[in-house]
Amino acid sequence: MAQLSARLERLIALESQIAHKTPPPAGEMEFACQPGTLPLLISAPHGAAHWRQGKVKEEDEYTSGLARLLGELTGAHVLYARCQSNTDPNFYRGVPYKQRLAEILDEAPVHFVLDLHGCAPRREFGLALGTMKGRSCPGMREEILDSLCANGFHPQAKGLRSLDVDKAFPALGKKDRETVTGFVWGTLGVPAAQLEINAKLRILKRLSPGEAHENTLADPWDVEQVIDALCSLVFRLARDGRA
Ligand SMILES: [Zn+2]
């Protein structure tokens, strides 16, 4: 691999601290908070493996590392998975991750929650925005689209620059399934959106053994574009999200 920029080296260092497939030590939680100064929180509930319906699901690699890096670059608050979880915060209600999220939003003036996830490399888009068809962030979906388009991700683009909007991953949940986005908007009344990032835009170096996306590695330049786009989005939402 060619020499990486300092922030990509930092991303790998942050992601290296995640215990992707190890439960937390007894008495400790599987997630951690990185406090910030902006009125926005970045969430990464699937940054480590997690249990859903009796099966372990592999981690959304580099989403915890990316969330933490974005927190360092922008000042956003971050809540991220740091160890394997025995539950799934983007599926079940009343889980400790959601309780912690509610506490943070109670304590800090957060006006928006951006929930980061990772999707498979076979997906025909680079990013997928989920806003419950606009319901989870009333009046702000256009702002988000505008910001992502201005940074090179567009609904009409092809391949990794393509932006899916509320089709593949609308973050809707169901009666027995509650997304983080659904919880933040529906229960806490704070605008929120989910963003799925293609594996080809985030896996810089393999750090965790696993079958999923085994041969996928991102071009460092593409990861730089994602970091730029997300930093711009965070600043824009932090500025405009004071409804
Ligand atoms: Zn996920």
Which CATH number belongs to the domain containing residue 199 in this structure?
3.40.630.40
Token pair for residue 167?
């089709």
- 176 versus 100: which is more confidently predicted? 100
Ligand 1 centre to CA of 60 (Å) is 6
Ligand 1 centre to CA of 207 (Å) is 18
For residue 212, being part of any structural domain is answered with yes
* φ, ψ at 69 (rounded to 5°): -60, -45
Q: Indicate if the pLDDT at residue 35 is higher than 50.
A: yes
Domain around 48: 6-240
* Nearby residues for ligand 1 (ion, Cβ within 5 Å): 46, 60, 117
Q: Indicate if the pLDDT at residue 197 is higher than 70.
A: yes
Instruction: Bin 166: left if φ > 0, else alpha if -120 < ψ < 50, else beta.
Output: left
- 242 versus 213: which is more confidently predicted? 213
Q: What is the pLDDT of residue 213?
A: 66
What is the mean predicted confidence (pLDDT) over 19-45? Answer: 97
How confident is the model over 72-109, as pLDDT tens digits? 999 999 999 999 999 999 999 999 999 999 999 999 99
Q: What is the pLDDT of residue 173?
A: 84
- Cα–Cα distance, 235 to 241 (Å, whole number): 10
Number of domains in the chain: 1
Average pLDDT, rounded, for the chain: 94
Q: Indicate if the pLDDT at residue 49 is higher than 80.
A: yes
Q: What is the pLDDT of residue 176?
A: 85
Ligand 1 centre to CA of 54 (Å) is 17
Residue 188: how many CB atoms within 10 A of its CB?
Answer: 16
Q: What is the pLDDT of residue 243?
A: 42
According to DSSP H, which parts of 43-130 are helical?
Answer: 63-74, 96-107
DSSP, res 31: E
Give the H or E element holding residue 55.
Answer: strand 55-57
Ligand 1 centre to CA of 89 (Å) is 9
- Cα–Cα distance, 141 to 51 (Å, whole number): 31
For residue 104, being part of any structural domain is answered with yes
For residue 177, being part of any structural domain is answered with yes
Decide if 200 contacts 222 (C-beta within 8 A): yes
Residue with tokens 């506490």: 103
CB crowding 91-118: b at 16 or more within 10 Å, else e: bbeebebbebbeebbeebebbbbbbbbb
Instruction: Report the share of the chain in percent with pLDDT over 90.
Output: 90
Q: What is the pLDDT of residue 208?
A: 81
What is the chain's Cα-based Rg? 16
The Cα-based distances of 183 to 91, 93, 179, 190, 210 in angstroms read 10, 8, 6, 9, 30
How confident is the model over 110-167, as pLDDT tens digits? 999 999 999 999 999 999 999 999 999 998 999 999 999 999 999 999 999 999 999 9
- 212 versus 76: which is more confidently predicted? 76
What confidence category does residue 212 fall into, taking pLDDT thresholds of 50, 70 and 90? Answer: low
For residue 59, being part of any structural domain is answered with yes
Ligand 1 centre to CA of 202 (Å) is 13
For residue 52, being part of any structural domain is answered with yes
For residue 1, being part of any structural domain is answered with no
What is the mean predicted confidence (pLDDT) over 200-212? Answer: 85
For residue 221, being part of any structural domain is answered with yes
Ligand 1 centre to CA of 155 (Å) is 21
Residue 9: how many CB atoms within 10 A of its CB?
Answer: 12
Ligand 1 centre to CA of 133 (Å) is 18
